[in-house]
Structure 1
Amino acid sequence: MAVQGVDVLVVGAGAVGRSIAFALASAEPAVRVALAGASGGVAASTAAGAMLGALGEVTDQTARTRHGRLRTELAVTAARTWPAWRERVRAHAGTGTGVPRPDGYGTGTFVVLNAVSSPLDDASFTAIAQAAAEHGRGCQETSPSDIPGYHPLDNDRALRAWYLPEEGFLDARAWLATLDAALATLPNVIRTPAGTLTTLPAHGYLLDTPAGTFRAPRAVVAAGAWTTPLLEALDPDLPVVPVLSAAGTALTAAGHQPLPTVIRTPNRAYACGLHTVPQADGSRYIGASARPCLTPTSHPTAGALRFLLDTALSQLDHHLTTAAITRTHHGNRPIALDGHPVIGPTPKDGLWVASGTHRDGLHASPLIATTVTEALLAPTGTAAPLPGPLAAFAPSRPLIADLTTKEAAAEAAAHHAALAAEAQMRPPLTGAWPRMLTDSYRGLMDRAYAGMPDGYVPPPDLAPLAYEESGPALAELAAVYLDRHSAHFA
């Protein structure tokens, strides 16, 4: 089969990959784009709750760290791009089918503060309001009893709540279908299954797929939790921050009155908080569990499903006890070794990466797509760092550590305590038991973090990988990257 020449290869067909392909092809009709990857599977996008939250992901930790504040700035900027981006995509989608299908887009989020966690929630609840004031976003205190569709058990009820009127949301599955419809109208986009990416001897990249072989001078790897093995196969010495998986499980429930807004808790217990999101067909998305993994996983676990149902029915809406569970979602969020995005040009000529977005990929996809497109279409074909907050998240950076080892271990211990509290774990109320449990969490984390190589401080989201049996493998992964980075930039 003949090799077909294109201008850009986009490897990875999640929300970020599809958005980059759309932005490139719609901005410049002469640019030919090959978009490779499966449209379903267990990628993050197909399982996402799609809370387009500029403030909902803010925590006390993000508010007090440099890169956390940059992530909030990135999220706020992305939120402002969504209305125009959505109309642009839907306009293209509509040219092929007449009227684009409903995508479940809406605005409004309630953040509830209950006691089914730890003091982490209190600090993050305050940080959300402070971030709203700093960025000029709406944040209003409201009575939890006034939240439509909120019916917790009495002993799990919230005593305070914020209403964030500008926080957006949509149905991720419907949005991906809209993106597909828009891409189908662009004659300069070629969709292919996933394939093997290799380097050409002279210059450029070759993508070999079941649908054909494609050659291009530039490639953008947006393969989510599958990014690192793809890059390792391409160039085992390439110093790009490794991307791991944060496996997540969620549910769709139907049969009850549709929700008008998102209802969620603050981020807690290594995860994105408990939340329910209105869907385009009137059902409710309920999410989400979180489990860091060295490699992607293919199925939800019984423990994740039990945890999700227990917490959703007790903390959000016990009326859902009789709801039909119409779908189980399972996906692999791409989380980088240091917990931050991996976006921009690599030291390898013409090779770009857009991954490591963790829970922010779908929300940030318009901003990532337009920024990467502008850089790729620049007359000089610039490989300079991307502008704004994205400049801090270059793929071949020193590992980010905004917290000291001691601070990160303490933060991880607090998340562990929050997980125990949300699971309704109660220590014996005799002697020093409550304090002993807290001290044991701290000791566990101190030992786990002490096992990591110098120069690597695991983010709290990855702490379970450090203290479980995967600890030595995580330490080895970090050591290999640190050596590879030092060798390349020596």
Structure 2
Amino acid sequence: MSSPEVVVIGGGVMGCAIALRLATRGLRPVVLERSVPGAEASSVAAGILAPRIEHGEPGVATRCGVRSRELHERLAEELRERAGVDVGFRRCGAMIVATEDGEDLEARARALIEGGAEAEHLDAGEARLREPELGPAVRGAIDLREEAQVEPPVLLRALAIAAERAGARFRSGATVRGVRTEGARVTGVLVDDGAIDAAHVVVAAGSWTALVPGLPAPAQVVRPIRGQLVHTERRPCIASRIVFGAGGYVVPRPDGRIVCGATMEDAGFAKEVTLGGVATVIARATRVFPALADAPLVSSAVNFRPASPDELPLVGPAGPEGLWLATGHHRNGILLAPLTAVLIAEMIAEGGTSIPDAAALDPRRFARGSA
């Protein structure tokens, strides 16, 4: 295999999106995945594109999320053309519901509107007119019309197909044993069967970032947060929108499939679905939609979200020249993949980026903080 210009470590949605953006710029990336593309968090995620709900207050995270949500719509059309795949992008809207006294949704709605969101505060009756299956515990709601969803497993396959057609290459079963450097510059990576030379290495290994040998200090701050969710179904579907409430969420698909989630557990790399985790997810979902108590438990799943100390991703240069990080996205990996891919591709190809707020995501902020 001829030497690539860029090695991307990690074949999830993040790595595949980066490979596509690099390949469409005429670069020659190779994606290394220790299993098969999407074997980890990318295939398990719920696919929620709701930056206003995730972060609430205006700031870097919300601004980046909103930009990336809009990029998703264009990406969906691009993947339809390049790969012939519909990734399930739908601007279905989302609803935040209150199930406890003391939840001041009216003030939160005002803050969202002041921050630029298309938000509307609803009393309990108005909320049930829009989502009739909401249970009696619901005391009010905020309706957000711009939020969207996508189907992560389909998105992943479409990205991989499109990237390969654009010139990217994939190597499954490739375990990276180290990042090679010469002086202050990256020269490639070591894998089980030898070395791969490359001028640039992008680490998009998600929760496993800190386990890639030889990375500098910023990469070591990424830690896994376990999330458990369940899949059920109901026809006709239980709701038309994504609904957040009681500490969880319910994501309806048009064909009646439903994703309910999710726990947030600092459990290291213990990759088990637990009785307690499933019980928690079910309790939250049925508090908002009591009718789900009669729905079948189709399956359960678990994944790890890569979390950073300040809850912002690490995207950009990491130390030695030519080494880049694209990790630490926590619960927003699917949401932020298009924006991250553009940022990394622009930095590698042009030496800079047009993405606002890129400086706030610079991985070297942690190296400076530990100095």
TM-score by length of 2: 0.89
Aligned to 1:391: 359
Tell me the amino acid that sits aligned with residue 188 of structure 1: A
Alpha-carbon contact 1:104-1:280 (below 8 Å) kept:
no
Cα gap change, 1:102 to 1:196, in 2 (>3 Å): closer
Aligned to 2:115: 134
Instruction: Give, in whole Å, the separation in 1 of the partners of 2:181 and 2:140.
Output: 62
- One of 295, 300, 303 as aligned partner of 1:323: 295
Check if 1:186 corresponds to 2:166. yes
Cα 1:7/1:50, change in 2 over 3 Å: same
Give the direction of change, closer, same or farther, for the CA distance of 1:163–1:292 in structure 2 (3 Å limit).
Answer: same
Deviation at 1:398, TM superposition (A): 4.0
Shift, 1:385, TM fit: 8.2
Q: Is residue 2:250 matched to residue 1:276?
A: yes
SS in 1 for 2:266: strand
Partner of residue 408, structure 1: none
Report what 1:175 is aligned to.
155
How far 1:396 moved relative to its partner? 1.8
Work out which of the residue numbers 150, 153, 156 in structure 1 matches 2:133.
150
Pick the structure with greater CA Rg: 1
Give the distance between the partners of 2:87 and 2:341, measured in 1 at CA: 22
Paired residues for 1:297-376 under 5 Å: 297-315=270-288, 317-376=289-348
Alpha-carbon distance in 1 for matches of 2:251, 2:89: 10
Secondary structure, aligned partner of 1:166: coil
| Structure 1, unaligned runs of 5 or more | 95-99, 400-480
Written as runs of structure 1 = structure 2, the 5 A alignment for 1:195-214 is 195-200=175-180, 202=182, 203-208=186-191, 214=196
Shift of 1:207: 4.1
Give the alignment of 1:232-311 within 5 angstroms: 233-235=213-215, 238-240=217-219, 242-258=221-237, 259-265=239-245, 273-279=247-253, 281-293=255-267, 295-311=268-284
Q: Does the aligned pair in 2 maintain the 1:253–1:323 contact within 8 Å?
A: yes
Contact 1:4–1:215 (8 Å) recurs in 2: no
Deviation per CA, 1:380-435, whole angstroms, max 9, x where unpaired? xx3x6884223112112148xxxxxxxxxxxxxxxxxxxxxxxxxxxxxxxxxxxx
SS state of the match for residue 219, structure 1? Answer: strand
Work out which of the residue numbers 24, 27, 50 in structure 1 matches 2:25: 27
Q: Secondary structure at the match of 1:190?
A: strand
Asked if 1:51 is matched to 2:24, the reply is no
User: Relative to structure 1, is the Cα distance of residues 359 and 239 closer, same or farther in structure 2, using a 3 angstrom cutoff?
Assistant: closer
- Provide, for residues 204-257 of structure 1, a one-character-per-residue CA deviation record: whole Å limited to 9, x for no partner: 1124257x8532110000111100111xx114x544451001100111102431
Q: Distance in 1 between matches of 2:280 and 2:181?
A: 51
CA distance in 2, matches of 1:360, 1:303: 24
Asked if structure 2 preserves the Cα contact closer than 8 Å seen for 1:71 and 1:389, the reply is no
Measure, in 2, the Cα distance between the counterparts of 1:146 and 1:169: 22
The answer to whether the 8 A contact 1:56-1:128 is kept is no
Is the 8 Å Cα contact of residues 240 and 397 (structure 1) preserved in structure 2?
no
In the aligned structure 2, how far is the partner of 1:128 from the partner of 1:209? 53
Alpha-carbon distance in structure 1 between the residues aligned to 2:294 and 2:65? 36
- Structure 2: 5+ residue runs without aligned partners? none
Q: Is the 8 A contact 2:12 2:37 kept in 1?
A: yes
Instruction: Describe the shift of the 1:306–1:207 C-alpha distance in structure 2 as closer, same or farther (beyond 3 A).
Output: same
Q: Give the drift of 1:184.
A: 3.7
Normalized per residue, which structure has more strand? 2
Specify which of 100, 113, 116 is matched with residue 98 of structure 2: 113
CA contact (8 A) 1:104 1:278 kept: no
* Structure 1 residue corresponding to 2:61, chosen from 66, 71, 76: 71
- Structure 1 residues 324 and 385, CA, compared in 2 at 3 Å: closer, same or farther? same
Question: What amino acid maps onto 1:105 in structure 2?
Answer: R
Distance 1:250 1:194 in 2: 29
Look up the equivalent residue of 1:175 and give its one-letter code. L
**1:4–1:126 Cα change, 3 Å:** farther
Equivalents in 2 of 1:179, 1:149: separation in Å?
Answer: 36
Distance 1:128 1:82, change over 3 A: farther
Instruction: Answer whether contact 1:8 1:216 (CA < 8 A) is retained.
Output: yes
8 Å CA contact retained: 1:44, 1:334: no
* 1:80 to partner: Cα distance: 2.2
TM-score (norm 1): 0.68
Whole-angstrom distance in 1 between the partners of 2:240 and 2:31: 35
TM-aligned CA distance change 1:144 to 1:132, over 3 Å: same
How far apart, in 2, do the equivalents of 1:47 and 1:190 lie? 21
Q: How many residues align?
A: 362
RMSD: 2.5
Is the partner of 1:391 in helix, strand or coil? helix
Once the two structures are superposed, what CA deviation does each residue of 1:264-283 show, in whole Å capped at 9, x if it has no partner?
12xx8xxxx41111236430
**Is 2:206–2:328's contact at 8 Å kept on the other side of the alignment?**
yes
Query: Structure 1 residues 85, 354: CA separation in 2 closer, same or farther (over 3 Å shift)?
Result: same
What amino acid is the match of 2:314?
V
- The percent of aligned pairs where both chains have the same amino acid is 22
Q: Could you give the per-residue CA deviations for residues 37-69 of structure 1, whole angstroms, max 9, x where no partner exists? A: 23244x33222111101211134xxx3xxxx71
SS in 2 for 1:313: helix
Mapped to 1, the partners of 2:166 and 2:257 lie a distance apart of: 32
The equivalent of 1:215 in structure 2 is 197
Structure 1 runs, 4 residues or longer, greater than 6 Å off: none
1:165 and 2:145 matched: yes
